[in-house]
Amino acid sequence: MKRGELYRVYNGSKNDPKKYRVFVIVSRQILIDSKFSTVTCAPVYSNYDSISTQVQIGIEEGLKHKSSIHCDELISIPKTLLTNYIGILSEEKLFELKEALTIALEIEY
């Protein structure tokens, strides 16, 4: 399991009409490799609103169509639910993800 990997996860939420949702792992690698049972993930949606906290992804990352990672909607997911591997982000997309997370969390250097 690595940062930037995409997984399809069963969604038991009553607020989301989709039975499954794709998520991207955004936790740092040391946490992913640790004994902690959860990792922080960002959801993937088919819509893209051209805002700085979204990263466009698509077929190159293993998806069926163009989509976007929404960094304003981070969620903690148990590692045991991350079993349906879809793909992984390229180095370029990982950099875009880092930038979007920095903006979403208003982190200043």
Domain segments of the chain as ranges: 5-104
DSSP-based three-state secondary structure for 84: strand
What global pTM score does this model have? 0.91
Q: What is the pLDDT of residue 18?
A: 72
> Given this model, what pLDDT does residue 109 score?
72
- Rounded CA-CA distance 20/77 in Å is 14
| Cα 70 to Cα 54: distance, rounded to the nearest angstrom | 5
Distances, alpha carbon 19 to alpha carbons 44, 78, 91, in Å: 14, 17, 30
Which architecture does CATH list for 5-104? Roll (2.30)
Check residue 11 and give its pLDDT: 75
**CA angle centred on 22, ends 17 and 28, rounded to 5°:** 135
Burial readout 64-95 (b: 16 or more C-beta within 10 A, e: otherwise) = eeebbbbbeebeebeeeebeeebbbbeeebbe
Q: For each of the chain's 109 residues, which pLDDT tens digit applies?
A: 999 999 999 876 667 667 889 999 999 999 999 999 999 999 999 999 999 999 999 999 999 999 999 999 999 999 999 999 999 999 999 999 999 999 999 998 7
User: For residue 67, what pLDDT is reported?
Assistant: 96
Enclosing H/E stretch for 92: helix 91-104
Q: Any bridge partners for residue 88, and if so which?
A: 5
Residue 16's pLDDT is 66
Q: List beta partners, residue 85.
A: 7
pLDDT at 108: 85
SS3 32: helix
